[in-house]
Chains A and B, each alone.
Chain A
Amino acid sequence: DGGITQSPKYLFRKEGQNVTLSCEQNLNHDAMYWYRQDPGQGLRLIYYSQIVNDFQKGDIAEGYSVSREKKESFPLTVTSAQKNPTAFYLCASSIDDSEQFFGPGTRLTVL
């Protein structure tokens, strides 16, 4: 959505390298989320954060790490421990844990 930006839209990395995906929002939302989507599948929750300096694991957190040092930013690092990192990554935010607003996504390809 207009208030959430993810960059870049496409990202290529070599196997074994860590990579950080950015997510920024100017909606003044407290909660932020990271999802992963594989072809033909629904979204799966990786991590979420309800407030600055706090975050929780979702259903598939292994191989990922996050930080929430600022309200506006929730970067996701895909580490070399993630076995199948190639996927479409979506960031979302919400004002009060209700409806979530999504960014345009980053398509990560690990070669």
Chain B
Amino acid sequence: DAKTTQPTSMDCAEGRAANLPCNHSTISGNEYVYWYRQIHSQGPQYIIHGLKNNETNEMASLIITEDRKSSTLILPHATLRDTAVYYCIVSPHTGNQFYFGTGTSLTVIP
């Protein structure tokens, strides 16, 4: 079963920051937070992952709360091409059980 809770859907205006929340209150000490996104009828695309420190790459930023029970994926300047389903996953870095829930369907509005 998925160990995360995400809102079903969100809208964001083009050019604005998209903040996607994820709750993972039962996360274990050795579990990382991963984010993927899936554009319709394509394979999921890796975005970012982190353990407890905030992380940033060319695609997004990941903010993890100090108690690690929740996190937020930030797309700093959303574009229409960011419209997708975003999955938040918790998993050990050396494990192989990625549980994909239903994710958050993000729609970027022109």
Contact = CB atoms under 8 A, between A and B. Distances in A.
B110 interface: no
A98 B93 contact: yes
Interface in B23-39: 32, 34
Interface residues of B, number: 22
A92 B101 CA distance: 17
Q: How large is the interface on A (under 10, 10 to 19, 20 to 34, 35 or more residues)?
A: 20 to 34
Interface string A83-111: 00000101010101111111111010000
A66 to B, nearest CB: 14
B43 A90 contact: yes
A53 to B, nearest CB: 17
Q: Looking at chain A's contact residues, is the secondary structure mostly helix, strand, loop, or mixed?
A: strand
Contacts of A43: 44, 98, 100
A17 interface: no
A45 B41 contact: no
A65 B96 CA distance: 19
A42 B96 contact: no
B102 A31 contact: no
Contacts of A97: 93-96
24 contacts: A1-B43, A31-B96, A35-B100, A41-B102, A42-B87, A42-B100, A43-B44, A44-B100, A45-B98, A50-B96, A88-B41, A90-B43, A90-B44, A97-B94, A97-B96, A99-B34, A100-B46, A100-B98, A102-B43, A102-B44, A103-B43, A104-B43, A105-B41, A105-B42
A48 B97 CA distance: 9
A64 interface: no
A101 B101 contact: no
B50 to A, nearest CB: 11
A99 B98 CA distance: 9
Interface in B41-60: 41-46, 49
Contacts of A107: 41
A107 to B, nearest CB: 7
